[in-house]
Structure 1
Amino acid sequence: MLLRNIDLNLLVVLDALLSEKHVTRTGVRLHLSQPAISHSLNKLRVLLEDPLLIRQGNEVVLSSLAQNLQAPLKAILGQIETLFGQSIDFVPADSQRTFRLAMSDYGAAIVLPKLLVQLRELAPGTSLVVTQDSRLGMLEQVEQGKIDLAVGVFPTLPADMCSDVLFEETFTCLLNRHSLPDNGELDLDSYLARPHLLVSTDGNTLGEVDNVLRARGLQRRIAVNIPHWGAAPGMIADTDLILTVATRTLATLPSGGMLLALPPPMTVAPFNYVQVWHQRFDEDPAHRWLRDLLRQVSAPSAP
């Protein structure tokens, strides 16, 4: 296949088609008619000798080739943009880019509200798509180019991933104040004797707290395991459960109620909440702008 025989504009259409998996939505995204997108899709199918988009029942899925093309295609387009736009700054107010993030409902509660305010003010033409997955699932989406950024806690990263610390987070215990021992204190023995509620987006029964306990030869009993940070505090109000959770999730908890927040009865190191991206986007101007914005809105003094 000779490069001179290929209209490079097809790469832009292909990138949008693989993201949207829908001819009409692709047309809206690129401001092109549906017949024009259909014509481009037919051209791409001939050039690549592959269907690319396959209908399965009521949904459209990507062919194996299309899945493998997503990441390198985004990298190529990013390099082309950099090549021809090195002296041109990204202009948020004029941008119509779609940004794709992955985060848990913890991130959605802590980071997303301030981010949306800034996006609507600084870049009203942009779109934001937010998804949720396990840690491994988020990293796979970053690797495949399906999302721009994964936001969360990632103790280890592949070599081709970049990261930036947004803030440091600590742990707090939450429990029914009337379920405390007679001395009114939550010591380690009382902590281990009680059943616990664990928040885990992937169903893993070992979190950061459990790793600390295991290092000391100790273990707590996980009675309930749920994937939603936001729902967790309300679930323990009338129970004997203890929730050891990221401190910022309790910022809106009303004071003086049935629930009591206490420090853990053992030392648990703070952890970093980070944003992760693939190195192929490290120099992308729009990507850098979004990362800077996320860093700003995540700062303790952010408005």
Structure 2
Amino acid sequence: MELKNIDLNLLLVFHQLLAERRVSKVAETLGMTQPGVSNALKRLRVVLGDELSVRTAKGMEPTPYAAQLGEPIGYALSTIFDSLNEGVRFDPGTSSRKFKIGMTDIGEVYFLPALMAALRQVAPDVTISTVRNTAVNLQDEMEAGHIDMAIGLLPQLKSGYFQRKLFRQRYVCMFRKGHELDKASITVEEFERAEHVVVVSGGTGHAIVDQTIERLGINRRVCLTVPHFVAVGHILSASSMIATVPERYAMACMKPFGLKYVTHPLSLPEVSINIFWHARFNKEPANQWLRRLIFERFADGGVISAA
């Protein structure tokens, strides 16, 4: 038997008959006429080569073959229904959705511990994977639907993207406890004389800080340049270097690495950390749910706008 010979509507009528046992009730439930239900059952009997039901005092009783078909057909119809409605509802408590989020190593350090703890409470089977904003063509990957959303300082995401501000943050000076600059504040001269580790984080907006420092005519003693932030805590804890880093990253590094930070002596621009998502996901329920969860956990305020 070929599936092309089976009308899905006939299986729906059959499934409902097994549940209701009366043609009149099936017609009422499915919004059909009784002759329409009878005709559907007649067509299905011809296709399957079985009477499917016999009339008894208790209603229409399934034949042994019909009873055998009942469970797998019911499961198949349920699966089709769930698949068709996946786009209009999302239950985090039962979902096993896999989300892919673009973020930097700073984002992983700051967001992931709290985000994963929240997911374990409300969506234990939902999983997250991250991809570096700098390791892929983020714009194309999000447009293709391969990445659900991105978090960070991402000026390259413009037309076709939505964004929601999580918070603004300043840059600070970070160093190990006991450093000679470990005091309430430091001067521009002390900052300039110190040994620096500098992070060149391509593909993000953090370069604006280095550009500002250069524009102010500050000549730092740059001893080390690295392409990411993830090693900075280790480096500072074992050296006398200092680093200019986002404050929330500094907050996350203090306890694990025994570090301190102070207000930056230079007037550096604050930056806005946003959630970005492509227009194709704007009304997708699962995406909406995760964006809302992130916003509730991390936002200082902000409104939705088109990027």
TM-score, scaled relative to structure 1 = 0.61
Give, in whole Å, the separation in 2 of the partners of 1:184 and 1:86. 55
Mapped contact 1:104–1:152 kept (Cα < 8 A): yes
Give, in whole Å, the separation in 1 of the partners of 2:194 and 2:205. 16
Secondary structure, counterpart of 1:210 in structure 2:
helix
Look up the match of 2:151.
151
String of CA shifts for 1:112-155, please: whole Å, max 9, x gaps: 12221222232233232222241874334223322101111113
Give, in whole Å, the separation in 2 of the partners of 1:106 and 1:233. 11
Look up the match of 1:179.
180
Structure 1 unaligned spans of 5+: 1-80
> 1:138 and 1:224, CA in 2 relative to 1: closer, same or farther beyond 3 A?
farther
Look up the match of 1:121.
121
Look up the match of 1:34.
none
Equivalent positions of 1:102-121 (< 5 A) are 102-121=102-121
What displacement does 1:258 show?
7.2
Structure 2 unaligned spans of 5+: 1-80, 302-307
> 1:249 and 1:295, CA in 2 relative to 1: closer, same or farther beyond 3 A?
same
> 1:250 and 1:185, CA in 2 relative to 1: closer, same or farther beyond 3 A?
closer
Residue 146 of structure 2 is aligned to residue 141 of structure 1: no
One-letter identity of the residue aligned with 1:128? I
Give, in whole Å, the separation in 2 of the partners of 1:94 and 1:114. 21
Secondary structure, counterpart of 2:174 in structure 1:
strand
> 1:253 and 1:161, CA in 2 relative to 1: closer, same or farther beyond 3 A?
closer
Structure 1 vs Structure 2: percent identity of aligned residues?
A: 26
One-letter identity of the residue aligned with 1:179? E
Give, in whole Å, the separation in 2 of the partners of 1:258 and 1:92. 37
String of CA shifts for 1:172-216, please: whole Å, max 9, x gaps: 1013544349x9962112222333212234399972321222333
What displacement does 1:158 show?
2.3
Give, in whole Å, the separation in 2 of the partners of 1:86 and 1:129. 21
Mapped contact 1:205–1:225 kept (Cα < 8 A): no
One-letter identity of the residue aligned with 2:213? L
What displacement does 1:264 show?
0.9
What displacement does 1:254 show?
5.1
Look up the match of 2:100.
100
Mapped contact 1:135–1:154 kept (Cα < 8 A): no
Equivalent positions of 1:168-207 (< 5 A) are 168-176=168-176, 177-180=178-181, 186-202=186-202, 207=207
What displacement does 1:111 show?
1.2
TM-score, scaled relative to structure 2 = 0.60
Larger of the two Rg values belongs to structure: 2
Give, in whole Å, the separation in 1 of the partners of 2:179 and 2:140. 44
One-letter identity of the residue aligned with 1:149? M
